[in-house]
Structure 1
Amino acid sequence: MVYGRYGLVIPDGEEIRELDGNAVKFFKFVKAKERTIIYIPSYSFEDSQIRKPVSRKVANEMLKIMFKKKRVIRQNSKKWIKRYKELTERVKNADPIQLAEIFSELVAYNRVKPLSFGERSIFDSIKEILCEEIAYVLNKKEEELRIQLEKLLEV
């Protein structure tokens, strides 16, 4: 399973926990690499952005988008905080293809001007999520894919 900003997670059962004095059923997931435990309340599971990993076809499409050279003219009139907020909002609601497009845009922005701290943070987060999922789906080595993607930022 893939869970929004966490990436690949492994279902690990259900638990009943107390929340505001009420017994609530939670679905438990484990982030394999970090051993982080994530609990999602059953009442908000539908809205949780948890999904199955993409197909091989979609994973290959994502890679094409990520490696495609884009020409982007950075809008210098926007302050970094506004750009950061817009990017954060886009990432929060993005499907995997849109995440690949945002990744590609950030690579192109970096060719014009180095990414701000916030933009770099978003770039790194997207890179980790996409790397993990694509490597899993295509049975590739995650570290090799990560290195290839990181090289895209080199000018």
Structure 2
Amino acid sequence: MLTVGDKVVYPMHGAGIIEGIEEHEVMGQRQLYFILTMPFGGMRVMIPMNNVENIGLREVIGQPEVEKVIDILRTPPGQVNGSWNRRFNANLLKIKSGSIYEVAEVVRNLMLQDRVKKISTGERRLLDTARQILVSELVLACDKDAESIEAWVYELLKENTPGD
């Protein structure tokens, strides 16, 4: 059971810390909400406690999972097929899954694709979202600041680019 102080991931938004539990009335219904503070921009998010499973709220990964993320970022992507809108939809589904591994794949694939041939504006926004989600979770998982995590991710991806 999640509680105040837990580090959690909210799919499509990123990682945050449960700062409190508050009762609010929304649309005529009183219920309890987790109050999350997100490390990026200090945004506060209210999540109904009775809806935690449906939205995919989960705890931040531990060190063994961080190692798997590193492996994903270092592993060359498979063959990219299809039009940009097919890739966009497939990547969007991966981000919505809430899986750090799928988000890491999206970051890796789009960053490496952008080095070969510039990605579309829509894919750039998707990359920015995926990168923010990935970095926010790694910040909490590794207890480091966002700048050093971003530099680290960039270095891992650089290892994945032959001749760079």
TM-score bucket of the superposed structures, by smaller chain:
0.7 to 0.9
Q: Counterpart of 2:90?
A: 86
Match of 1:134 among 129, 134, 138: 138
Distance 1:122 1:38, change over 3 A: same
Match of 1:11 among 18, 23, 28: 18
TM-score under structure 2 length normalisation: 0.77
Q: RMSD in angstroms over aligned alpha carbons?
A: 2.5
Show structure 2 runs of 5+ residues with no match: 1-7
Aligned residues with identical type, % of pairs: 22
Distance 1:60 1:42, change over 3 A: same
- CA positional deviation for 1:66: 1.0
Q: What CA deviation, in whole Å up to 9, does each residue of 1:98-148 have, x standing for no partner? A: 221222222332344211111111112212221232233234443133134
C-alpha distance in 1 between matches for 2:38 and 2:114 = 30
- CA positional deviation for 1:97: 1.4
Show structure 1 runs of 5+ residues with no match: none
Match of 1:58 among 37, 61, 65: 65
Tell me, yes or no, if the aligned pair for 2:17 and 2:37 is still in contact at 8 Å: yes
Stretch of structure 1 that moved more, 63-72 or 34-43: 63-72
Structure 1 runs (4+) greater than 6 angstroms displaced: none
How many residues in Structure 1 have an aligned counterpart in Structure 2?
Answer: 152
Match of 1:120 among 124, 139, 163: 124
